[in-house]
Amino acid sequence: MEGRKCLGNRGITADMNVVTVEGLDRIYGSGRTRVEALMEVSFCLAPGELSVLVGASGSGKTTLLNMIAGFDHPTGGTVRVLDQEIGVMGETALALFRRQHLGFVFQALNLIPTLSATENVELPLTLLGIPRSARRVRVCELLECAGLRDRAAAMPGELSGGEQQRIAALRAVAARPKLLLMDEPTSCLDSSNTADLVGLLLDLNQGEKICMLLTTHDQRVTRAVPRSIRLVDGRIADGQD
Ligand code: ADP
Ligand code: MG
């Protein structure tokens, strides 16, 4: 896809995109087991843009997130994040790049069960070598923003599903990434916890200008988010904007 078409009327230039996906294909298997999980997928995400990736189960949403984060490699096409082509980066460079610029929350939240809520949120900052005092200021600010100050010392097993999801989101944004990817963040949440999580994500998007891409089936999420990108059988549906 050409830059102009990709960028629509947002009045931004190509080098400002946080994500640029061009002609992306991901084909699994071959012969009778061949699955075209993604075909000719192209779109861009601007700095601070909040979007949902919607589509039926099996339409390729998780595959696309994995490709943007560099956990899986394209069969064809390219993914650029902050102008770095993800598919050609070595594992070490990619790991550092993710740590500095990307936050992601998978469906399995992967909170570390032996660390408290505070320590889980703090972990990315520890890995980046941020001093303890600065880490604690940042963690307090985030827990406050999520209404979780009183759960700071709780272990993941003592948190409700909604609290765990919010702690996972806070951990993903602790290091102020440019991009947050979340896979089906509300799939296990009731209405009240969904509203809390969506409120938190909107606050973080506005306050910290983090570009976010969330996969969802959930109309309570899509209604709250300005842009929907729709996948149908691995292809971008027309009229996505
Ligand atoms: P969604 O997240 O929208 O439910 P997925 O990205 O998980 O969809 O899957 C898209 C398609 O790719 C599905 O048909 C799925 O079965 C297939 N697929 C996903 N991962 C693999 C894999 N590792 N090997 C083979 N097929 C896969
Ligand atoms: Mg999925």
Residue 46's domain is classified under what CATH number? 3.40.50.300
How much is the pLDDT for 1? Answer: 37
Q: Whose CA is nearest to atom 20 of ligand 1?
A: 63
Is 1 part of a structural domain of the chain?
no
How much is the pLDDT for 20? Answer: 96
Q: Residue 92 in 3-state DSSP? A: helix
**Separate counts of helices (H) and strands (E) for the chain:** 8, 10
pLDDT digits (tens, 9 = 90+) for 92-128: 999 999 999 999 999 888 999 999 999 999 999 999 9
Q: What is the mean pLDDT of residues 194-200?
A: 94
Distance 232 CA to ligand 2 centre (A): 13
Element (H, E) at 236: strand 235-236
Distance 32 CA to ligand 2 centre (A): 22
Structure tokens belonging to residue 69 = 């984060």
Whats the size of the chain, residue-wise?
241
Is 5 part of a structural domain of the chain?
no
Q: What is the mean pLDDT of residues 78-92?
A: 94
Is 14 part of a structural domain of the chain?
no
Is 4 part of a structural domain of the chain?
no
Q: Residue 155 in 3-state DSSP? A: coil
Number of domains within the chain = 1
How much is the pLDDT for 107? Answer: 87
Determine whether the shortest distance from the Cβ of 26 to ligand 1 is under 6 A. no
Q: pTM for this one?
A: 0.91
Q: What is the mean pLDDT of residues 70-99?
A: 94
Determine whether the shortest distance from the Cβ of 60 to ligand 1 is under 6 A. yes
Q: Whose CA is nearest to atom 13 of ligand 1?
A: 58
Determine whether the shortest distance from the Cβ of 138 to ligand 1 is under 6 A. no
Determine whether the shortest distance from the Cβ of 58 to ligand 1 is under 6 A. yes
Give me the amino acid identity at 22: E
Average pLDDT of every residue of the chain: 91
Distance 58 CA to ligand 1 centre (A): 6
pLDDT-above-70 percentage for the chain = 92
Q: Which atom of ligand 1 is nearest to the CA of 72?
A: 23
Distance (Å, rounded) from C-alpha 222 to C-alpha 241? 13
